[in-house]
Chains A and B, each alone.
Chain A
């Protein structure tokens, strides 16, 4: 940690260093603005040189993100950002690679790349902007849209059961999963920081409001007046407490999470304690996502250590080189049965 702090002082970066000249072209009021601002605010204090950040995106509203960051950036094709980013990271492991994607880009057309990037645990950060709608194509339901949702392509209500992206990340054995709200600067910054520091594939799901095609989708947690009663912000090692008065908590009852009021029959010591290293707890939190009787969990849901693909690749190169010696073209060409014509 002290190393990082030392790095920050030396680098002397500010938010302005990450803001390019070109104008941002998201719709006024879009949740993306807040995510961008918090990214630009957080990266300067991460101890990483500006030129070592690379932002890779696919297609969709959120995928314009790299154009609005004054870093290296690659706005690629629909769904393929995790695959492209994997190549970037393996070619230059010194880079801090960020993947910016949306619910359509990352979980519909690019679902395959997403799960494999997470499974391999390549040291990259994946930020999913989940607005539960296709925005750039002007309002069709997405794989995270709720059942019954009326959109341009589901005029009678969507009959597609939605994904819970963070649950898929867990299913793909992701080593870091976090969920944040576009309007919650503190939560966003915490997620960005933790993801940046995590060694391995980090997955951040951002609930992001689309003002044009799906306004108010997350109203219960976005609205300041109701957020505290509907959102559970988990902290590793601390009991699961929420509510405006911090008077509610989560207990385990009949193998299900259940909301209880504190002060009467229940006290803090009865509550479930968050453990980001325990996949059973993570799974339990994720199960609460669509459950109307439980709050929606936010924060770092999972963080475990595991070997990264990039490290293993480099060490394999080192080990084989150690064992066989540095390969030369001569060795390679003469590796078969050779004969000479004189």
Chain B
């Protein structure tokens, strides 16, 4: 039988199953193969906060979505074209998102009476016509891998566990992806346990052959290479990109990297990644709590390392007092907040952008701090590098905001040539900095940065601390004039960072009816929405902010060229609040806090609502 191959421009696939079904792994393997084919892509995981929620329940469903295409891909896609449902609960949770006419790949062996009941299906949807609007491929995955692996060393449970590789194999066939990279990866991962590796490879190939040979599949899809900028790429998650950005900055600054951190979802992968890099001289210190995480980093900064701390919202709250200490002692420090849903423990595995005001203003007293935000997983590298560079240049802590979607989502990263990364000049005064009146730890350079004199330098012994210091001398001071001066210097130092921000670039036109302003991970959805609206003839452009403290110097001028402003945010209106004060003009808001990123269509609808 000849099978049709249809060329398509893009596709969105969602893998869904029980949290023990290995959906994150399956999705990641599909992503890797897709990246190697040369498509552009974005991914997003969606998993419960319980490690193993009760088997077969709706709460226990774990999912992974990716969109890939032959042109630029800015988001992991709105509604999936294809849904892999490994059990009835996965189908129940995700069916509502599947495009009408979309494709379902289901493991029919998991659709037992017990599982159906647990997922709230009254009858078996694979059999009762519920899914007649969709293309359904109901496969006995468990049974098929069982047969393929007859006589294997694995227990029957072990064999059952390879069914995700069967599903992956079917998808590899369906979307014309190579199996070899996953084969190699499995052999490497289970190097010590070859029978597991081989069983998984067999299951994957069985799935692939099932697609190719059985008559139920008539069509496969081809997605051509994307026209990406030339160069070498790899797929990268935002958390890994942050880690690499910090390592790169440390090397370019000639510093050792110190991370003081306490494990927290969804930021822990930064700690994990950096802890593997001992041969890069990286010192990771898993502290006893969030406060010790940042405090140890402040100590390491004082003693001369490039220091950073990584966390998520609740951890950020705990670090607040110490951030103030880093501000008043004017020590360089990178603080990474991988935002999640809150308040309090909130929704640890779900994304949100609701720590913006906390980052910009959330401290006692007037305590300004530069805040940089990353727009996609690969951008996390650049932002981490930039955060470190600015921290070192201005002797200030810098906050980098990413979120769970960026941190755990992935996309292709155009690998930079290390030689092209800018050097980060760092000067430590030596003994000659001691004048007749002694060493002046709060003297100022052209950027009002104070000297970074390291303990161990003869003659520069000095004291710093949380008590207000006299400018220049660094003596403890409660003098009213001095406090005013120091408060102003600290604020000016942050304001001066506008000189690091390149002129704002809008996507679209420089002037028009509507400007959609965003920050952080909304970039992709806004971009797609603005692109579609422009194609439909709307006068709309996009401005995406990287620094949200300070704002770009030309922000007001850019905004003045538009009649209206719309800010979509995954919070209740935090950038809107800041920009209303900054621009003193009304702003349209689009806010949602559902633990998930915007769909482009939601923003598109809002644009149409405003522009008519």
Contacts and interface: CB of A to CB of B under 8 A. Distances in A.
A156 interface: no
Contact of A113 (B285, B292, B307): B292
B304 A76 contact: no
Nearest to B462: A72
A87 B303 contact: yes
A75 B295 contact: no
B461 A70 contact: yes
A94 interface: yes
Contacts of A211: none
A342 B279 contact: no
Interface in B529-547: none
Contacts of A83: 260, 287-288, 291-292, 295-296, 299
B486 interface: no
Most buried by B among A87, A91, A325, A328: A87
Given A73-B464, A75-B467, A83-B295, A88 B229 contact: no
A86 B296 contact: yes
Contact of B244 (A87, A94, A332): A332
Given A87-B303, A90-B296, A112-B292, A325 B279 contact: yes
Contacts of A59: 466
Contacts of B248: 329
A80 B295 contact: yes
A326 interface: yes
B457 interface: yes
B295 A84 contact: yes
B460 A87 contact: no
Interface residues of B, number: 73
A70 B251 CA distance: 33
A87 B234 contact: no
B519 interface: no
Nearest to B321: A77
A49 interface: yes
A323 interface: yes
Nearest to B260: A87
A27 interface: no
Nearest to A25: B476
B476 A67 contact: yes
A74 interface: yes
Contacts of B36: 337, 339
Contacts of A66: 463, 465
B302 interface: yes
A74 B288 contact: no
Given A80-B292, A113-B292, A87 B458 contact: no
Interface stretch (A163-171, A223-231, A312-320): A312-320
Given A83-B295, A91-B303, A338 B415 contact: yes
A116 B456 contact: no
Given A67-B476, A336-B235, A321 B299 contact: no
Given A76-B465, A83-B295, A92 B258 contact: no
A108 interface: no
Given A74-B464, A337-B234, A339-B233, A86 B279 contact: no
A330 B421 CA distance: 12
Contact of B463 (A75, A77, A317): A75
Given A87-B299, A337-B32, A337-B234, A317 B278 contact: yes
* Residue picked from A66, A70, A83, most chain B C-beta under 10 Å: A83
Nearest to B325: A77
Contacts of B279: 317, 320-321, 323-327
Nearest to A51: B458
A255 interface: no
A340 interface: yes
B456 A95 contact: yes
Interface residues of A, number: 59
B228 A341 contact: yes
Nearest to A116: B288
Interface string A85-119: 11111111011000000000000000011001000
A338 B283 contact: no
Contacts of A76: 295, 298, 325, 465-466
Contact of A341 (B38, B297, B301): B38
B461 A50 contact: yes
B258 A87 contact: yes
B270 interface: no
A91 B299 contact: yes
Contacts of A325: 279
Among B35, B258, B291, B292: residue with most chain A CB under 10 A: B292
A116 B295 CA distance: 13
B455 A88 contact: yes
A341 B231 contact: yes
21 contacts: A54-B455, A59-B466, A66-B463, A73-B462, A74-B329, A83-B296, A88-B302, A88-B303, A91-B302, A91-B307, A92-B454, A95-B455, A113-B295, A317-B283, A326-B280, A327-B280, A330-B418, A337-B35, A337-B185, A338-B234, A339-B234
Interface of B: 32, 35-36, 38, 181, 185, 225, 228-236, 244, 247-248, 251, 256, 258, 260, 277-281, 283, 285, 287-289, 291-292, 295-305, 307, 321-322, 324-325, 329, 415-416, 418, 421, 438, 454-467, 475-476
Which 8 pairs show the lowest CB-CB distances between chains A and B?
A87-B299, A75-B465, A83-B295, A87-B296, A91-B303, A87-B300, A327-B280, A83-B292
Interface of A: 21-22, 49-52, 54, 56, 59, 66-67, 70-77, 80, 83-92, 94-95, 112-113, 116, 313, 316-317, 319-321, 323-330, 332-334, 336-342
